[in-house]
Structure 1
Amino acid sequence: MNDLLQTYTFLNQAMQSDSLLCLAQAVCWLDPLWRGYDEDFYHDPDGILSAALVVTRQLFPDLYVDAIDKLRQGATYATVDQLICEGISNTGIPLDNLEYLPYGIPLPAYGVELNDADFYTTHPEVIPILACFGISPEANPYHMTIPDCVYTAAEIIATDLAKRPEEQYQQVAWGLLWLTSATNNSICDWDAELMMEVEPLAWETNDLAFARVMIEEADEIMGDVLTGLYWLTSEPAVMQAMQDNIHRIYKAIQKKGKNNDAPNIRLKWVDLAICPE
Structure 2
Amino acid sequence: MTSSKSAPHSKSLFISHGTGPFPLLNGPHEQPFLETLKRNKRVLSGVKAIILFSAHWETDHPCISGAAKPGVYYDYEEMRPQLPPATFEFRYDADGHPELAKEISAELTKQGFQPEIDYQRGFDHAVYVPMTILRPEADIPIVQMSVLKAKTEQEATDRNLALGRAMQRFVNEGYMVIGSGNTYHDFPEIAKAYFSPEPGASVSIKSTAFEEFLAESAAIQDVDARCKVLAKWREAPGSWEAHTVGNAEHFWPFLVAAGAGRDVEGRKIDDSKVVGAPMPIYLW
Q: Which TM-score band (shorter chain)?
A: under 0.3
Question: Larger helix proportion, structure 1 or 2?
Answer: 1
* More strand per residue: 2
**Bigger Cα Rg:** 1
| Bigger relative contact order, structure 1 or 2 (CA pairs below 8 A, ≥6 apart) | 2
TM-score by length of 2: 0.21
- Report the TM-score, using the length of structure 1 for normalisation: 0.22
